[in-house]
Amino acid sequence: MENNVLRDRALKRIKALLSKTEENGASMEEAKSALEKASLLMKEYFITLTDIEDLKDDPIIVESTPIIKIKEDIGQFYPIICKLFDLRHFFNSENLTFVGYETDVKVGIYLYKKIVNGLLHDLSTFKKSSKFQMLKVHYHANTLRRDFITGWIESIYWKVEDLYSQRERKINSDDKGGLILLKKDNVDKKFSEFKVKKSRNSDRNVFSSDAFADGETRASNFNLQNDLDTAVGSDNVISNV
């Protein structure tokens, strides 16, 4: 009973902290400090995005973000983010658009930017490595790039799957499955307003297992959980990425 009381107090405290944004009159330093404190409380009391959403009147929104330009097609990566946050998406050559509850969309866009920039950083490091130079003797540079990216995204996929499984277990233990189904249904209804052509990703053959493995290894060091904790509820941080 005492633990429940403490957790409820933490929820209210987190809500108050997350309301401290620049839009609400806080300075940038105050907003960042509030976000850090909220993230620590969420970790301490095992509070999830779903718990936060229970405290907010969270509208369904449609929001676009510019596509981060990269030579290779990474469209297979977008559904990975959508699965974690119960979002739907569509995109063209210029913009990636998410449909979902506002909190989820904001965090989804934030993580999209963080992950793709993380990929580009690791790809740049790989291209400067001695391994890349050695592999270029046997493979075209574009092939090595593509295989590295495939391995990197594969590793991120399994990280997200793990986070998703954790969330599902938490939802089931809290008996909130009905709430999540309702959320997904509401998002699907909003998404149905758009006439979106479905695309099918082509099979990706890996020619250089070394480049693929290097991508997997580098992505394994990407701290997705930490970025998720940082992003929760922070319009301020998102707008400054």
pLDDT, residue 238, reads 39
Distance CA 119, CA 81 (A): 15
> 61 pairs with which residues across the strands?
100
pLDDT, residue 121, reads 94
pLDDT, residue 49, reads 59
pLDDT, residue 136, reads 93
pLDDT tens column, 14-59: 777 877 777 677 787 887 788 778 777 777 777 765 566 655 556 7
pTM of the model: 0.66
The three-state DSSP-derived secondary structure of 217-239 is HHHHCCCHHHHHHHHCCCHHHHH
pLDDT, residue 173, reads 61
Q: Report, as ranges of residue numbers, the positions in the chain whose pLDDT lies below 50.
A: 1, 175, 178, 233, 235-241
Distance CA 109, CA 86 (A): 13
pLDDT, residue 25, reads 79
Mean pLDDT computed over every residue of the chain: 78
pLDDT, residue 236, reads 47
pLDDT, residue 206, reads 72
